[in-house]
Chains A and B, each alone.
Chain A
C-alpha cells in the first residue's frame, strides 16, 4: 500500500542518496503508475478514487523532485531540516558573489557581441563545469552526514541556485537571439 507520509525516496523504494540511479527511478515510477492507473479504480469507491488521485500527484511530485540534480539536493537537505529553498537571510561568500556578478555582466555583453553563439557556448560550458563541481562537492559533504558537513552541503546548494538561475538566463538570451 502506498503511503504519502513517506518521503519521496521511501515512497519510490529507493535508497536515500544523492547519486541516484535514474534508471531505477523511472522503473519504480512506471511500476507505481501502473498500479495507480484510473481504469483499475473504476470499480472502487469515491474515497478510494480520491486517494488514487492523491497518490498520483505525490508520485509526480516525487519523480520531478528527485530527477533534477538541484531539487534532489535541496530535498535531501530538507530531510535534514535545512531549507535552502525559501531562506532569504544568509551570508554568502563575497568572492562567489563577485564571480556571479561578472558572469551576469558577460552574459549581458553577449547580446552586442560580434559572435554571440560562440560566447554563449563558452558561458554555457562554464555553467556546466561549475554545476558539476558543485554537485560533486555537495555529494561528498552530504555523505559525511554530520551537522557541519550538512551546513557545508547547504552552501553548495545555495551556489547551485545562483548557477541554475544563470543557466536559465542563458536560455532566455538564446531564445531572444534566435527569434531575431
Chain B
C-alpha cells in the first residue's frame, strides 16, 4: 500500500517528537494504544494559564500513518484553546493525510490521544 505524500513527509520529518515532564501541573499527557496492531502513542500538551496550548510533543511507536497522525495533531493544536483541541475530529486528520480506509484507525488513535491529554490536564487542574 502506498502512503500519501503528506504521510511520508510527517514520517520522515516528524514534528514535535519528544517528552515533557508529566508531573508538571501545566502538562497534560494522553497515552493511548491500539491492541489490534500493538501501536502505542503518547501525546502531551503544555497549557498556558489562560487555557491555550503553547506546546505539544508526541512519541509514537507504530506505522507511518500513526506517526503522521500524531505529528500532525501536535502541529495543529499549538495555539488552540482546550475546547478547540477537544473538538478535533479524526476525519479531519484522515482527510489531511489522505489516509486509506484501513489506516483510519490511526487517526482515531490520534484523536483519542489529544482528548486524553486534555482530560488529563483538566483533571490535574481540578485537583489543585
Contact = CB atoms under 8 A, between A and B. Distances in A.
A90 B31 contact: no
A101 interface: yes
Interface residues of A, number: 23
Given A88-B105, A88-B108, A104-B61, A97 B35 contact: no
Nearest to B31: A97
Contacts of A161: 35-36, 38
A158 B36 CA distance: 8
Contact of B36 (A87, A94, A166): A87
Report which residue of B32, B36, B40 has the largest number of chain A beta carbons within 10 angstroms of its beta carbon.
Answer: B40
Given A88-B108, A101-B61, A104-B61, A162 B38 contact: yes
Contacts of B109: 88
A92 to B, nearest CB: 5
Interface string A155-180: 00011011011100100000000000
B15 interface: no
6 contacts: A87-B36, A92-B32, A101-B31, A101-B59, A101-B61, A104-B40
Interface of B: 31-40, 42, 59, 61, 105, 108-109
Given A98-B31, A161-B36, 19 more contacts: A84-B35, A85-B36, A86-B36, A87-B36, A88-B34, A88-B105, A88-B109, A92-B33, A94-B31, A97-B40, A100-B33, A100-B40, A101-B40, A101-B59, A104-B40, A161-B35, A162-B38, A165-B38, A165-B39
